[in-house]
Amino acid sequence: MVEVGERAPDFELLDTELKPRRLSEFLGKRFVVILTFPAAFSPVCTKELCTFRDRMALLNKANAEVIAISVDTPFTLKAFKEANRLNFTMLSDFNKEVITKYGVVHESLLGLKGVAKRAVFILDPKGLIVYKWVSDNPGIEPPYEEVIRIVDELSRKYSPVM
């Protein structure tokens, strides 16, 4: 499992338009908030991602970009994104490479093997993990206000990377 202070492992995953996206393309000038979640269209995941959607203005003000990752197919994620008007990047980790690298794999969840744990990682512009929250209980939502507060504090602490 990755830890605070470590460099976040780079990855390449397909987005909802089937375009390969690398973590490294998001780094440099912004903080990156990586969300991993178990399953599109499930009640708790829908609530979580819609809550982040509704707080994007605060995250953008704090110079942060959100990337949401699950093991759902890009097609499922596209439908989920459109149905909920999600305003951030969604990536498919169908082959479970990223959730394995980051150490956020549910070995079995309701009989499903290898879905993502609900987790939040905040990366600084250089790709260092500055915050980590992981839940073994898929029914527990992330601490939204804490995530926003930390990104806001970090954005005031760090000078922009040029």
Q: Just list the catalytic residues.
A: 45
Strands (E), 82-140: 89-92, 105-109, 112-116, 118-123, 129-135
Helix (H, G, I), strand (E, B) or coil at 33: strand
Residue 51: which H helix or E strand, with range? Answer: helix 43-54
Residue 14: which H helix or E strand, with range? Answer: strand 12-15
Helix axis angle for 74-84 and 43-54, nearest 10°, is 60
- 160 burial class (0-12, 13-18, 19+ CB within 10 angstroms)? exposed
Cα–Cα distance, 121 to 74 (Å, whole number): 21
